[in-house]
Amino acid sequence: MERGTFLVPCEDETLLFHKPAKMKDRLGFGFVLCSAVFMILTQERALANIDSESHGVNSESVEEEEWEMVQRKGMQFTLNGQPFYVNGFNTYWMMTLAADNSTRGKVTDVFQQASAVGLTVGRTWAFNDGQWRALQKSPSVYDEDVFKALDFVVSEARKYKIRLILSLVNNWNDYGGKAQYVKWGNASGLNLTSDDDFFTNPTLRDFYKAHVRTVLNRVNTFTNITYKNDPTIFAWELMNEPRCPSDPSGDKLQSWIQEMAVFVKSLDAKHLVEIGLEGFYGPSAPARTKFNPNPYAAQVGTDFIRNNQVLGIDFASVHVYPDSWISPAVSDSFLEFTSSWMQAHVEDAEMYLGMPVLFTEFGVSAHDPGFNTSFRDMMLDTVYKMTLNSTRKGGAGAGSLVWQVFPQGAEFMDDGYAVYLTRAHTASKIISLQSKRLAIFNSLCGWRCKWGCKKKNHTALDALLSH
């Protein structure tokens, strides 16, 4: 967002167990039920901790298991051979605050509180180009103290068993963005006239590639692990919300995506890669543009289906901001749009892309006319239900990341969308419940299940989810 301005289904149709002995089935189901209840009780304790402002779980209490890379198999993410459905969050400013010892503790607070409500993936910036506390002060010139701050963010995420999507540049001017690259190009003697020259100019493409190479090859000063080898990193994001409105055909952006996706994979074949798209439909799918929030969305140079068919892209990203795209005034139309927007992209991920789709940003701003926390909670609930509807069918809807989680004391960074988990008790409970449901899916799905199969009987599992 612009800042500032199956269950893997089983072959066996009796849910997750094979048939030979009915007693064995009963014992198996009893074990599943007990496990699910234990999980629920454990996470209720975590939620109680955050409600009492205890700042989440102690990382030392987190059970140590082998820390593996998240992978993709078909339309699902996998971890250690099991499905990995995501309930996550955004906190974009963590590197910036970690660069100052007086605010570094806020990063720890974020991870503690996110962990306490079961969030497993965070998304944040691995860029700050030419701005206050810049990571990259000029092309390929870095502030080592700020880089160490990013190291700290990654190490804290690992400590709390949270994986990270790291975005590599901004479309918007905040934190530098493509406009800063154009300024650097002109300072080096180029004659660039549009911010969209970022996508086409060979020198600027090289500037970007150099930054990508530097980040991926960085050795974390806290963990001594090279970023490109660190399972803490869930995925690389090529750009936050890329747009190229100077070329509504989408060809310029498509060419850039093709080059950069292959380049990232040439440096790091282990991690997942996504583009960072908002999800707007373009010229390649005129029948789908009816789902766009407004006519202008089809003219910004992005093309959801075509862009995500590029070699090297592992999953699709979509953002959900009815208050920015439809109307700033809160109304029920926000929820209706959210449902249809999400359903359309899940269908496309299944029918045309064959990959997971992650709703990597969604939210509603406290600055919107008519905003109240009850509506924010309804928005959370709508997104989570749409995600779960896909998850329980083994579909491509792989999860969502709320924009954005804040600790107390970071109000000066609040863009209106902040969810303060220690005081937004209803929202925290909704988030925690979604985490529990997805944890049940993730834990049950690996038991004697096989990929790509179908099942008809959801009764027992749905009973667990309802509980």
The label of the residue with tokens 């500032």 reads: 4
Quote the radius of gyration of the chain (alpha carbons, Å).
Answer: 22
Select from 108, 439, 398 the least CA-distant residue to 272.
Answer: 398
Using CA atoms, how far apart are residues 155 and 9, in angstroms rounded to an integer? 35
Cβ-based neighbour number of residue 251 at 10 Å: 16
pLDDT digits (tens, 9 = 90+) for 190-211: 999 999 999 999 999 999 999 9
pLDDT digits (tens, 9 = 90+) for 319-360: 999 999 999 999 999 999 999 999 999 999 999 999 999 999
Select from 137, 125, 253 the least CA-distant residue to 187.
Answer: 137
The label of the residue with tokens 């090279």 reads: 226
The upper half-sphere exposure of residue 64, i.e. CA atoms within 13 Å in the direction of its Cβ, equals 1
Say which residues have a Cβ less than 8 Å from residue 288's Cβ, sequence separation at least 6.
Answer: 281, 304, 305, 344, 348
Using CA atoms, how far apart are residues 98 and 250, in angstroms rounded to an integer? 37
pLDDT digits (tens, 9 = 90+) for 81-117: 899 999 999 999 999 999 999 999 999 999 999 999 9
Residue of 156, 237, 241, 274 marked catalytic: 241
The tokens describing 466, both together, are 């309802």
List, edge to edge, every strand of the sheet that includes 82-83.
Answer: 71-73, 76-79, 82-83
197 to each of 3, 56, 252, 253, how far by Cα in Å? 22, 45, 9, 10
For the chain, what percent of residues have pLDDT higher than 70?
81
pLDDT at 33 over 70: no
The arrangement of secondary structure in 73-446, i.e. its CATH architecture, is Alpha-Beta Barrel (3.20)
Q: Where are the alpha helices (DSSP H) in 52-104?
A: 94-98
Average pLDDT value for residue range 15-39: 38
Q: Are the C-beta atoms of residues 233 and 67 closer than 8 Å to each other?
A: no
Average pLDDT value for residue range 373-402: 96
- Residue 288, classified by CB atoms within 10 Å of its CB into exposed (0-12), middle (13-18) or buried (19+), is buried
Is 241 considered catalytic here?
Answer: yes
Does the pTM surpass 0.75? The reply is: yes
Report the residue count for the chain: 467
Using CA atoms, how far apart are residues 361 and 237, in angstroms rounded to an integer? 13
Using CA atoms, how far apart are residues 261 and 308, in angstroms rounded to an integer? 10
pLDDT at 72 over 50: yes
Q: Are the C-beta atoms of residues 325 and 368 closer than 8 Å to each other?
A: no
| Distance of alpha carbon 328 from the chain centroid | 24
Q: Residue 59: which pLDDT band, with cuts at 50, 70 and 90?
A: very low
Q: Are the C-beta atoms of residues 239 and 245 closer than 8 Å to each other?
A: no
Residue of 237, 278, 350, 361 marked catalytic: 361
Residue type, 255: S
Average pLDDT value for residue range 264-272: 98
Q: Are the C-beta atoms of residues 152 and 107 closer than 8 Å to each other?
A: yes
pLDDT at 12 over 90: no
The tokens describing 150, both together, are 């990013």
Using CA atoms, how far apart are residues 71 and 270, in angstroms rounded to an integer? 8
